[in-house]
Amino acid sequence: MKILLIAGGWSTEREVSLSGAAAMRQALVARGHSVTLFDLLESFDSLLQTAQAYDFALINLHGAPGEDGLVQAMLERVGCPYQGAGPAGSFLALNKAAAKQIFRQAGLPTADWEFLPQPPPPGWRPRLPYPLFAKSNTGGSSLRLGRARDKQELDAVLASIFAAGDEALLEPVLPGREVTCGVLGEEALPPILIEPLAGDFFDYKSKYASDGARELCPAPIGPELTARAQRISLAAHRALGLAGYSRADFILGPDDSLSLLEVNTLPGMTATSLVPREARALGMDFGQLLERLIELGLREHAHS
């Protein structure tokens, strides 16, 4: 199959995207596909013209553009099928404040939040108690994420977020451990329990440093919690109107509660990334996972 592998882009996660694309290209070529790497940063103006000449587009973009649905909408204009969520679901999932409204409306457990689309006025105080997490409302890879114990620390984190032109989302610091659970097609995958080794939470260093975190798959959390994480992950996937695959991130509390943080529509895709590791627990290697994503994408766009 002639595949256009779209990666790079111009978000803060550009290097993560290119690294994953290299692994994807290697796996696909080994399986007999013809793969062209398309760096969106260098070639955006030729995306529509180029995509028309390919059988399928594999998108490996993180942040915007990519997770915001722009590339997906453009590919649909020229009838080029792709994997994963469509434009609307992508946009809703990327915007954490919007996604949390959808989770709450669907009856899914998610922590309280405060959305700050612009710097607050002098004298402002957060509605939520300290300590707080402040994060980019549309960012990923835990970039521009910080924990604040008081107003001074919060102001410093918010300043970095707003200086980058982002909106901010505040959430309480929830005690517990991180759990992530992928969805592939209409099936939830085995969850992973994440234990950061390089810090107190799963930040950028923990995610990408070789010694940043211990990732236990399948998560040693017992069958009832496993089933609950899978059930919520699949429900969140459906509530956002997603397709193909996604990955839901949770905090697992000491009382065995699960709090849904966010859903990723273009999760990391190297052979050692979280969703590929979950698929491998079911006996599916990296190349087989990519083939499955292509199969699901072709099926989705054949019906659209």
Catalytic residue among 11, 13, 178, 215: 13
Element containing residue 238 per DSSP (H, E):
helix 223-239
Where residue 79 falls (left for φ over 0; alpha for ψ -120 to 50; beta otherwise) is left
User: Could you give phi then psi for residue 282, rounded to 5 degrees?
Assistant: -95, 5
273 counts as catalytic: yes
Which residues make beta-bridge pairs with 215?
Answer: 194
The string of DSSP letters for 148-215 reads: ESSHHHHHHHHHHHHHTT--EEEEE---SEEEEEEEETTEEPPPEEEEESSSSS--HHHHHSTTSEEE
257 counts as catalytic: no
The CA-atom distances, in angstroms, between 132 and each of 126, 178, 217 are: 9, 16, 29
The binding site for Mg(2+) comprises: 249, 262, 264
Q: Round to whole Å and give the CA distance between 105 and 101.
A: 6
Tokens 């260098």 correspond to 42
Catalytic residue among 17, 90, 206, 273: 273
Q: How many CB atoms lie within 10 A of CB 45?
A: 8
User: Could you give phi then psi for residue 145, rounded to 5 degrees?
Assistant: -130, 130
Q: Round to whole Å and give the CA distance between 249 and 251.
A: 7
Q: Are 163 and 176 in contact (CB under 8 A)?
A: no
Contacts of residue 227, defined as CB under 8 A and 6 or more positions apart, other chains included, come to none
Catalytic residue among 17, 141, 142, 206: 141
The binding site comprises: 249, 262, 264
Q: How many CB atoms lie within 10 A of CB 123?
A: 5
Q: Round to whole Å and give the CA distance between 171 and 110.
A: 10
The first and second tokens of residue 62, run together, are 């993180």
Annotated catalytic sites, by residue? 13, 141, 273
